[in-house]
Chains A and B, each alone.
Chain A
Amino acid sequence: MALFRKNSQSLSSSHSTQAKGKKVALVGNPNVGKSVLFNALTGAYVTVSNYPGTSVEVARGNAVIDGCHCEIIDTPGMYSLLPITEEERVAREILLNESPDVVIHVLDARNLERMLTMTLQLVEAGLPVLLVVNIMDEAERMGLVIDIPLLREKLGIPVVAAATAKKRGLAEIRAQIKAYDRQSHAVFGYNRRLEKDIEEVAGLLRGEYTLSRKTVALLLMQRDEEVAALVHASEKERYEAVVALVKDKSFAHRESFHLDLSLERKAIVKRLVEGVMTVPAQRRATFGERLSRWAVRPLTGVPLLLVVLYFGLYKFVGDFGAGTLVDFLEKGIFEEHFNPWITGVVHAVIPWETIRELFTGEYGVITLGFRYAVGIILPIVATFFLFFSLLEDSGYFPRLALLVDRIFKYFGLTGRAVIPMVLGFGCDTMATMVTRTLETVRERIIATLLLALAIPCSAQLGVILALLSKAPGALLVWTVCLLLIFVVIGFLAARLMPGETPMFYMELPPMRLPQLSNILTKTYTRMQWYFMEILPLFILASVLLWLGKITHFFTTLVDWMTPVMAAIGLPRETAVAFIFGFFRRDYGAAGLYDLQTKGLLNPRQLTVAAVTLTLFIPCVAQFLIMKKERGWKVSLSIGLFVSLLAFGCGWGLNRLLLATGIL
C-alpha cells in the first residue's frame, strides 16, 4: 500500500526535496480559489497528469519565490482528512506521501466557521499549515469582519487574508512560503472522556507515522480502513490489541463516534471564531439565501419544485413550445406553405416517382425528416433549453440534488444522480454517458436503467405534454404511470442489486439572479448542438424508411408489430411511431403527433401509446452509449427488460382504462 509511508522514508524524501527547494501543497474544499492561487504562483508552466493508479488529475507547477525554488501541487478538493471520494483520497495521499514543506490550506472567508474544521484537522495532524483566508473581498462586501492577527494567534500558525482572484494577498503568501518554518502551533482539546479514549489508543501505537499519533488514533476510531491497514503493517502483533481497544472506545458510552467528534470539533471552531469574526447585526438574509433554504427543505422544496415543473415544463415547454409554437410552425408554415411549395418544385424537377418519394413522399426527407426536425422538435427543444438554462444559471440544480438525495437513497442512488437525471430530460444519450460520474457501479447501472426506462427526453416530453393536455385526465394518468414505474423499478433495483449507497456531500454555490446573456448564450449553443445532431439523423431515418417502403420491408415490420399493437389496444398505424422511436425518441413522439392530428387515436389509445412509447426501448444512440458505458451484457439486458416492461405496462394500462372507463 502506497498510502502513509513511514516517517523515516518521508523525511528522507523531504530532505531531498529541501535540497532542491520547497514542496508546497494547496489543499482545501472545492471552489475556494485553490486553482486561481496555483495559477498565480506557477504561471503558465504547469503539468497535469493522473495521480498514479487513479483517474484523478493533479496539477503541478514550479515557482521561484525570491530565489527559492518551489514545486507547487494543486490537490483535488477535500472536506476532511477522512476521505470519502477518490479525489479526497488522492489529496490525502499527496499530503502524506509527498511530505510537503508547506501545506497551504485555502478557505473561503464567507464560510470561515465551517471550513476551519479542516484547518483544525491539518494542524492536529502535525502538518506545516499556512492558512489562506481567501475571497476576503466578497466577505467584506457582505459586511463580515475577520480579525486575522487574532486568528493567527489562536491557531498558532501563519494566516494570510487574500482575494486571489483580485491578486490581493499574493505577495504575503509568497513571503510566508519563503519564510515558512515548522513552528509550534496551538493544541486543541476535546472533552475529557474523548481525550482519554484518544490517549489510550494513541498510547498503544509504537510505529512511526507521518501523521501525529492523535490523528492516527482518531482515524482508526472513525473506522478508516486505509489507516487500519497501515497500523496493521506497522504494529504487527500489537495490532489485535489496538483493534480491540479501538472497538471498545468507539462504541463505549456513545451512539456514534463520528457524531460526537463532529460536535466536538464544531464546538472548538465556535470558540476559535469568537472574537475573530464579526457578523453585522443588521444583516438580514437576502432573498437568494432565503430561496436557497426553501429549495432544499422538503416542506417548502417539494411545492417549489412542483411550481417550477408546472410553469416551466407544463405551461412553457408543453403549452407554449409544443402547442403554440409547433402549431404555428408545423401547421401554419410547413403544412400550409412550405410542403405544398417544395412538393411542387420536386415534381417539376424530378420526373421519377420513386425519387420524388424520397424527398417529398410519406416518409420524405423534406416533408417528414426536415418537417419533424424544424417544425416539431426545434420549437420544443428551444423552449426546453431556455427553461433549462434559466434554472441552471440560477443555481437551482445543486439544491434539487440535496432535496431529492433522501428520496433517491430508496432507489440506491444519491443526490449526485440528479445531474444525469436532469440532463436526461434534455437528451438521454448524453445523460447515460454522465452516469459514469456516479461513485459505484451499482449506482451507474440503476441510473442507466432508470434513464432508459422512465426519463423522456425534452422533445418527447414536450410533444407528449402538448398531446395529452388536450385530453382531460390523460396527462395525469401518464404522469402517475411514469412516476409509479420509476419508483417501483428504482426501489426493486436497489433491493436486488448488492452493495451500499454511498454518502453525498455537495458544496452549494450561491443562488443568483439568472443573467439574460448567459441564458441566451447557453440556449443558443445547446440548440445549435442539438439541431446539428438531430437533423442528419432525421434525414438518415427518412432515407431508411423510404428504403423500407420501396422494398416493402417497412410494411413487413409494421405487419409484425400489428398483433402487439392490437394487444395493447392501439391501431396498426401506431406501429409506425414505435419504429420511428427506435431511431430516436423524439422522432417517435413526432410520429405520435402526426397520428393524433390525423384523428387516429382516442384519448385512451393516446395515453396508452404515450406511456408505452415513453417506456419503450431507448433509441439507437442511447443504446450504443449504454453498450459503451456498461458493456453488452448490461445494455442488452436493460434493452430487453425495458421493451418487455413497456409493452407489459401498455397492456396493463389499456385493460385498466377499459375496465374503469377513466378515459
Chain B
Amino acid sequence: MKCGYCGYEFPEEEGIRGCGRCGMPGRCHMVRCPRCFYENPLEPAMIKKLKKLIEKKS
C-alpha cells in the first residue's frame, strides 16, 4: 500500500496495525506508515476482492 502522506510504498504487513492506544474497541481499520506514522485507512476486504476479480477478468 502507499502512504497517503509521504507516498512511501510498503507491504500491508509492514505497516503498524492495531496498536490499541486510542482506546477504540475491536479491530482498527487503520495502518500506520512505518516511515512517517501517518494513519492510512485499510482497504476493505470486499473492495480488495472486487479489484482482484476485475484484474482477473481483464
- A interface list, Cβ under 8 A from B: 30-31, 35-36, 39, 48, 57, 77, 389, 392-393, 395, 397-398, 419, 423, 429-430, 433-434, 436-437, 506-507, 509-510, 521-522, 524-526, 528-529, 532-533, 536, 621, 624-625, 628-629
Contacts and interface: CB of A to CB of B under 8 A. Distances in A.
* Interface size of B as a range: 20 to 34
A621 B14 CA distance: 27
Contacts of B39: 423, 430, 434
Contacts of B36: 419, 437
B23 A624 contact: yes
Nearest to B16: A57
B5 A521 contact: no
Cβ-closest 3 pairs across A and B:
A509-B7, A525-B41, A437-B37
A510 B6 CA distance: 10
A419 B37 contact: yes
A35 B10 contact: yes
A621 B24 CA distance: 9
Nearest to A393: B4
Contacts of A436: 37
A533 B24 contact: yes
B49 interface: no
A398 B22 contact: no
Given A437-B36, A525-B42, A625 B6 contact: no
Given A419-B37, A434-B39, A625-B23, 6 more contacts: A77-B35, A419-B36, A429-B23, A510-B7, A522-B41, A625-B21
A31 B8 contact: yes
Contacts of B21: 433, 625, 628-629
Given A419-B37, A434-B37, A392 B4 contact: yes
Contacts of B7: 31, 395, 398, 507, 509-510
Contacts of B42: 525
Nearest to A526: B41
B5 A419 contact: yes
B18 interface: no
Contacts of B41: 521-522, 525-526, 529
A39 B8 CA distance: 15
B12 interface: no
A532 B5 contact: no
Nearest to A528: B29
A398 B38 CA distance: 11
Interface of B: 4-11, 14, 21-26, 28-30, 34-39, 41-44, 47
Nearest to B26: A532
A521 B35 contact: no
Contacts of A395: 7
Task: Tell me the dominant secondary structure on chain B's binding face.
Answer: loop
Contacts of B9: 31, 35-36
A654 B24 CA distance: 38
B58 to A, nearest CB: 14
Given A35-B10, A419-B5, A621-B22, A525 B29 contact: yes
Contacts of B38: 419, 423, 434
Q: Which residue, B5, B34, B44, has most C-beta atoms of chain A within 10 A?
A: B5
A430 B22 contact: yes
Contacts of B44: 521, 524-525, 528
A526 to B, nearest CB: 5
Contact of A30 (B5, B6, B37): B6
B22 A433 contact: yes
Nearest to A624: B23
Contacts of B47: 521
A433 B6 CA distance: 18
B6 A507 contact: yes
A389 B10 CA distance: 19
B28 to A, nearest CB: 8
Of the candidates A509, A510, A532, the one having the most CB atoms from chain B within 10 angstroms of its own CB is A509
B10 A30 contact: no
Contacts of B34: 57
A430 B16 CA distance: 14
A532 B6 CA distance: 27
B15 to A, nearest CB: 12
A397 B29 contact: no
Contact of B6 (A36, A398, A528, A628): A398
A524 B46 CA distance: 12
A536 B23 CA distance: 13
Contacts of A392: 4-5
> In this complex, which of B11, B24, B29, B39 has the most chain A Cβ atoms within 10 angstroms of its Cβ?
B39
A355 to B, nearest CB: 26
A621 B25 CA distance: 12
A522 B29 CA distance: 11
Contacts of B10: 35
Contacts of A625: 21-23
A83 to B, nearest CB: 16
Contacts of B23: 429, 621, 624-625
A434 B36 CA distance: 10
B33 to A, nearest CB: 10
Given A434-B37, A437-B37, A522 B4 contact: yes
30 contacts: A30-B8, A30-B35, A57-B34, A77-B35, A392-B5, A423-B38, A429-B22, A429-B23, A430-B22, A430-B30, A433-B21, A433-B22, A434-B37, A434-B39, A437-B37, A506-B6, A521-B41, A521-B43, A525-B41, A525-B44, A528-B29, A528-B44, A529-B28, A529-B30, A532-B26, A536-B25, A621-B23, A624-B23, A625-B21, A625-B22
B1 to A, nearest CB: 11
A39 B13 CA distance: 13
Nearest to B47: A521
Nearest to A56: B34
